[in-house]
A and B are shown apart, each in its own frame.
Chain A
Amino acid sequence: MLATLTSGLDHIGDVSPEHLGEALGILANGSFWGARGNSGVLLSQFIQGVYRHLITHETCTTRDMVDAIKVGHSTAFSSMSEPVEGTMLSIMESVSLSFESSSTIPSGLTPFWQQIVASSRDYVDDTPNQMLLLAQSGVVDSGALGLLTIFVGIWAHYADLQLENIPIYQDIILQTSIQTSITNHPIASDDWGFCTQFVVTNGGNSAKDLRTSLSSLGNSILTTELDNSIKLHIHTKQPQLVIDTALGSGTLNTLMIENMDDHETTTTPLSYETDPDKTCCLISITDDGFGHIFTESGLASNIATEQNDPTFFTSLTQIIEQISPSDIILMATSLNQLKTIQHLEEASICGSTVKTMVFHTPVHAICAALTFNPYNDSSVNFAKMSSQASQTLCISINPLPNDQLPVYPSQSIDSSQYISTIEYQEIAIHTDIAELISASLPDLCTYTHPILTIYRGSQTSESEAIELVDKLEQILPDTTIDMLFANQSSPLYLISLE
């Protein structure tokens, strides 16, 4: 809620709105884009409703404000797929109802907001009686408490009071500390999956349609609309599936994913301790061998995954939570993983900002990763890695005919990542692979201390590979030749020339 409100206020920034409606419009827009979490999205929608009611008002009376709060409540209510009483929605409703039962609405802002605080407080205190989990934990709803805090702040402003001198504020502080200790308890975080948020733009579907299409994939679904954009919030165990489904409704922006589960560590990140000075973390995504090369060489944390792997985000968030970098570079090490990462550019995952890179082969990714430095930011790393990849030649030795080579495309796709493919027919004619490789190399005189690294696949025996290395060393005496077992199912060999 703080992030939501801060984003709204940041949008106002140095702008000097000419009237109330304009100010609320900027606040609503800012809170829409910055809304985080279930309560944050609800708050942004509440502000949106208030704005819609007061859009033409240069100023407003307390009567107008009561009506605006009603609209805010109904707007927030309609954004939820399954509205639950006992949350901040109840506060919004209770505030408007409290004035309806009153004979008069205070005209002064100080008594007006004092009454709002008083009626909100009553409902906050009652929230443990309305939700089982809250009752078990003995705490009030955090969203409701957050909204009350905002109301207290507004009241304190008009009454010219210091927050620390207001007893109700002291109670809020006390409740927040209880809340924190309970939230950290396993009972409150048992297998909740991922809090996933994004904005869908340029889509033809309504917010309601989007909610319906995602209803089977999670809970706490909230949608808010602004112009042609829909902001979605969902708690899901399948964020990838949510993303894929939402893509049918338009383009995704400002993706944010938080892991809400307590979990055991199952992946193995780099073998070094967390260092607060590190700004960037490199994570490779592999699907066919090669993963151990990234981890054992210390180049990257690796996630071995297939397409649509439901555990991908679990692995990803575990690595991020252990290293806690501000930036992440996610490397798709072949085009197979493009789909996995293509919507994660600039996403916020567990508070880290994602930059994505797609390499045509793991060999290009390895050479690029050699230039990665965790003490540089992602932009510097991105530039160095891209440059390195464009200087790397990959030779693919394939046992399969052309039409069965979907994994490693020819160099015609992207000249910046050069790939030379020696295919089945040539191997059948030319039995000496070393000669074939040698013939496919560019003029090595243009390279400074060239290094040829041969990554052996699972279909090739070690003795065959050693024999190949011996022959290449004879043919290319001034070239360093390195050989590693990469375990890829195809091709027989992938070779990098640096």
Chain B
Amino acid sequence: MTISIITDSSADIPQDLSSDLGIIVVPCHVLIDGKDCKDGVDICSSEFYEYIANSSNLPTTSQPSIPEFQTVYEEELNKGHDIISIHVSSKLSGTVNSAIQAKTALGAPPNIIIIDSMLASFALGLIAIRAASLVNHEKDLASIHESLLDLCKRTHCIVALDTLDNLYKGGRIGKAQAFLGGMLNVKPILHLREGEVHPLERSRSIKRATNRLSELFGEYLPVTDVGILYSTDSSHCDYLSDLLRPVIADNHPIISQFGPTLGTHVGPNAIGICFITSK
């Protein structure tokens, strides 16, 4: 039985990579000046960041609708495929809920497995990529499910932001509000913990924060999969890659850009790293 891997666009998987691996990406929605755009379909990352740089209005985001999930699930079921649908943390988005509702609307077939990754952005992307690899070698839905849950627990995401303004304006500040404050040009370093964004450290410049990401990454070694994320300035990625090179050897990081879904919240000039630790 073929297993289809489905995720949502907040996974920030580069489009060519998701196409190559056959990962189905359900687009999230970005509302810009009253216009509903599908992330990665109606608007690409560069257009999105150009928009927020020139607009005082912060776009809003929403999860894929239940019918959108339903349509995708039906298509795959009609092909005779089983489904593993892996999504952004339910503590950050209603996406998992939409997916569950869609499955229920289809009579809750047991061959649709929905996973609340408790992750976001390319940390979720790494899991979807691993899932695509797993289904090539393993055909048992339950054991793949178990493996993915284990991988989710071993996946980390640490992000340095240039500003907390976007998180604040978007109402997603959560626990990161502990680092809110305008003076001193502070760059907050945040991490995903138990599905939520937690404050980790403060740094005084984005360069220093990038260095710190590398040091923090070093505390988790050894790792198996590495991704580097940026929002607007890819030179940060190059710099971070150089810093990581001595410790990850041939394990080349995948470079990804925060898409509109997460980009709305992390804002410009953000840099992040996500990785899966070895057992």
Contacts and interface: CB of A to CB of B under 8 A. Distances in A.
A449 interface: yes
Interface string A259-303: 000000000001111010110000000000000010011110000
Contact of A370 (B175, B186, B200): B186
A482 B184 contact: yes
B175 A293 contact: no
Contact of B199 (A296, A373, A482): A373
A78 interface: no
A163 interface: no
A296 B201 contact: no
Interface in A359-374: 366, 370-371, 373-374
Interface string B17-28: 000000000000
Nearest to A272: B177
A4 B233 CA distance: 61
A55 B211 CA distance: 66
Contacts of A277: 175
Contact of A484 (B180, B183, B186, B199): B183
A275 B180 CA distance: 14
Contacts of A299: 181, 184
Q: Majority SS of interface residues in chain B?
A: mixed
B202 interface: yes
A319 to B, nearest CB: 15
Given A277-B175, A451-B204, A451-B205, A375 B181 contact: no
A320 B185 CA distance: 27
Contact of B184 (A272, A366, A449): A366
A412 interface: no
Most buried by B among A296, A449, A484: A449
Contact of B208 (A273, A374, A449): A449
A99 B51 CA distance: 88
B10 to A, nearest CB: 24
A273 B171 CA distance: 13
Nearest to A375: B198
Nearest to B174: A275
A7 to B, nearest CB: 34
Nearest to B184: A297
Contacts of B184: 293, 297, 299, 366, 370, 453, 482, 484
A299 B186 CA distance: 10
Nearest to A480: B205
B182 interface: yes
A327 interface: no
Contacts of B208: 448-449, 451
A370 B187 CA distance: 10
A498 interface: yes
B199 A375 contact: yes
Given A297-B186, A370-B202, A373-B200, A448 B211 contact: yes
Contacts of A451: 204-205, 208
Interface string B82-126: 000000000000000000000000000000000000000000000
B204 A297 contact: no
Most buried by A among B186, B204, B207: B204
Contacts of A484: 183-184
B253 to A, nearest CB: 21
Contacts of B201: 370-371, 373
Given A296-B183, A299-B181, A375 B204 contact: no
B201 to A, nearest CB: 6
Contacts of B185: 482
A272 B205 contact: no
Nearest to B164: A298
B178 A296 contact: no
A272 B180 contact: yes
Interface of B: 175, 177-186, 198-205, 207-208, 211
Given A271-B180, A296-B183, 17 more contacts: A275-B175, A275-B178, A278-B178, A296-B181, A297-B182, A297-B183, A298-B181, A370-B203, A373-B200, A374-B199, A375-B175, A448-B208, A451-B205, A482-B184, A482-B204, A484-B184, A498-B204
